[in-house]
Amino acid sequence: AVSAVGGKKNRSVIREGRVDTPHVDDLVGEEAAALVKMRGRVDSLCCELDAVNWTATKITSSKADEKHESVSVAFVREFCGDYCLLRYLRARNWNVADAMGMLVETLKWRWSTRPDLIAWDSVSKQAAAGSNYQHGFDTHGHPVFYMRARRDPPGSTKEKLDLILYNMEQGVNAMDEAKGVEKFVYIIDLKGFSVSQAGADPKLAQQWISVLQSHYPERLGCVFVIDAGMIFTGFWNVISYFIDAETRNKMDFKSQEKFRKELPKSLWFSAAQLEVDYGGKVHPKVSEQHYKAAISSTYAGDREALSVTDDSKPSLERNVTANSKPSKNKFSFFGFNR
């Protein structure tokens, strides 16, 4: 059977009422057996944590090292639920050894990075411009993320990746587990983006894709890339060689006009679920006025470089002070300027 929105094939049936993955009770024999083996591997891993200092030998974290904290069994157990294990198994074609190896690498990364602990206060400055946010859900209950490249403010790669991770973690928390919702949907709008705008950085898209492939397997539903210009297309032709085939197949390039025209027949959206720029009826979560005001108040010293007009300055719920300079990098693959 196949997911209602054309996801990866499963040997077991995704019954009515579920979206991306079968219920555990509906797994066919070989899949159920693989899950049992994965559970056993996780049990063995937890026993090893009790006997071995993973902080020093396997999982390293600056925070953990400073406080001499070893990764806990609770940390592993909380992450390694059945549906998590199934995602790693599907990502590795049900090969238990490969799936477990991938899972261990994710545990290392999550313990050192702790994307689940990124606080709003640490990303609010980047978020104020409205270049990257989650707003609503698609027809199947997937969280929908909007990324507008031309709004990307200056900032370091870490600052911008932290915002992406923060949003993804919030998206995961918003998924309806009872319906088997496990995937994100992205709308990446490149209209008006320029490689010369302040903050453009080629590292961000590469790092984000790497994190998605390595540590959020089976989480990407579809990516709609709107109004990709020739420069981006050229970059994509290069970077796509380093992206697995399944991820590449989830990229859908369209003009804004074509996206709006095809909306009535879309398998993903209805007009009631989309923002108005894309043919929907929902007002943007961050308006153009708020974007301009955020740039004006946050990067007041870099107005000329940012090329932002001073048409209006509506008050913001979160106002921040300027303390960063635009990056000198001139390129950005997905418009995620870092």
The number of C-alpha atoms within 13 Å of 279 and in the hemisphere containing its C-beta is 17
pLDDT over 90 at 48, yes or no: no
Please report, for residues 109, 166, 255, 285, the alpha-carbon distance to residue 334 in angstroms, rounded to integers and kept in the order given.
23, 18, 15, 20
Give residue 279's pLDDT band: very low, low, confident or very high (50, 70, 90). Answer: very high
Per DSSP, helices labelled H in the chain are: 29-51, 54-57, 62-67, 73-79, 82-91, 96-113, 120-127, 157-174, 203-215, 230-239, 245-249, 256-262, 288-298, 303-306
Residue 239 has pLDDT above 70, yes or no: no
- Asked if the model's pLDDT at residue 336 lies above 60, the reply is no
Q: What is the mean pLDDT of the chain?
A: 78
- Quote the percentage of the chain above a pLDDT of 90: 47
Whether pLDDT at 41 is above 80: yes
pLDDT at 142 over 70: yes
Residue 201 has pLDDT above 80, yes or no: no
Residue predicted with more confidence, 206 or 8: 206
Question: What percent of the chain lies above the pLDDT cut of 70?
Answer: 70
Q: 192-201: buried (b, 16+ CB within 10 Å) or exposed (e) per residue?
A: ebbbebbbbb
Confidence of residue 196 (pLDDT cuts 50, 70, 90): low
Position with higher pLDDT, 52 vs 172: 172
Give residue 306's pLDDT.
40
Instruction: Enumerate residues 6+ apart whose C-beta is below 8 A from 39.
Output: 82, 85
Most confident of 98-102, 208-212, 325-329: 98-102
Q: What are phi and psi of 215, to 5 degrees?
A: -125, -5
pLDDT value, residue 69 = 61
Report the pLDDT averaged over residues 132-146. Answer: 95
Q: State how far the Cα of 179 lies from the Cα of 89, in Å rounded to an integer.
A: 20
pLDDT at 57: 36
pLDDT reported for residue 195:
62
- Give the pLDDT score at 129: 84
Average pLDDT over residues 18-34: 92
Is the Cβ–Cβ distance between 312 and 295 less than 8 Å? Answer: no
Compute the distance between CA of residue 181 and CA of residue 142 in angstroms, rounded to an integer: 6
